[in-house]
Homo-oligomer: A and B are copies of this chain.
Amino acid sequence: MFGIQYWDITMKKSNGELMLDAATKLFAENGLAGVSLSEVAKGAGVDDAEVTKLFGNEEKLYETVLESQFGNYAARMGAVFDKGGSPIDKIELLARAMFDVYKQAPYFFPLFYRELLNPSPFFESIVIKNIRHVAYLSDNNNTKGIQKGQLKRGINPAYATMFLAGMFHYYFLASRLEGSLLPQPANDEEYLSQAIKVFLTGLNKGV
């Protein structure tokens, strides 16, 4: 969301954007403790001094990366709930939005999983804050689905959010590697549509 308009017009990214892109990739691959400003400068093709001037130190740069990535995620997922549609429509849109982020912002999920394994000083203020916001919207949508008689009673709406998210998180965690855990290369669209089907059937009121 950083300078998108400028980029669309000129097709050329600013040095600030290049540094942020390089930093996002490096932090996703190596974690906060595994990246130096020098490596970011090298990745962005700029001088070390330029990174220091704009971002200060590794921790400040990491904070900027997390803010951008988690802000973007929360905005993309939150947009699902701004529009009309039944709770069931929104469950499908939410699942599709997760896949869109996976494709369009491929470093977001590794950053998130690293934070879950080794929380940084920004875990509460950025990670939990944004993830909780999305979870809250989804939990409320599930509750509405139960109240409207579209989803079955007796299932904890917050657990249901985790069931749906988990089906995709494990896919993202496992399939970003060559030599995936699946016997054949997975088809994203097929996986997504079967997961939504199993989830919605599993929560079907009539059953």
**A183 / chain B contacts, CB cutoff of 8 Å:** 136, 139, 158
Instruction: Report the separation of the CA atoms of residues A179 and B128 in the bound assembly, to the nearest whole angstrom.
Output: 9
| Number of this chain's copies in the complex | 2
When chains A and B are docked, how far (Å) is the Cα of A34 from the Cα of B31?
Answer: 12
A164 to chain B, nearest CB (A): 9
Question: Is A166's CB within 8 Å of the partner chain B?
Answer: yes
CA distance A131 to B176 in the complex (A): 16
A172 to B180, CA, bound (A): 21
How many angstroms from the CA of A186 to the CA of B158 in the assembled complex? 10
- We find that the number of chain A residues with CB closer than 8 angstroms to chain B is 55
> A181 and B131 in contact (CB under 8 A), knowing A159-B194, A204-B201?
yes
Per-residue contact bits, chain A 131-163, to B (CB 8 Å; 1 contact, 0 not): 110011001000000000000000110111011
Inter-chain contacts of A173 with B (CB < 8 A): 113, 116-117, 169
Residues of B within 8 A of A179 (CB): 124, 128
Query: For A79, what are the chain B residues with a Cβ–Cβ distance below 8 Å?
Result: none
The distance in angstroms between the C-alpha atoms of A131 and B174, with both chains bound, is 11
List residues of chain B with CB within 8 A of the CB of A113.
Answer: 113, 117, 173
A116–B131 Cα distance when bound, in Å, is 22
Subset of 8 A-B contacts with CB under 8 Å = A124-B179, A131-B181, A155-B194, A159-B191, A162-B182, A166-B170, A167-B167, A201-B204
Q: What would 4 more interface pairs be, CB under 8 Å, given A117-B173, A159-B191?
A: A128-B181, A139-B183, A156-B190, A162-B167
Across the A-B interface, the 5 shortest Cβ-Cβ residue pairs: A202-B202, A166-B170, A198-B202, A166-B166, A166-B167
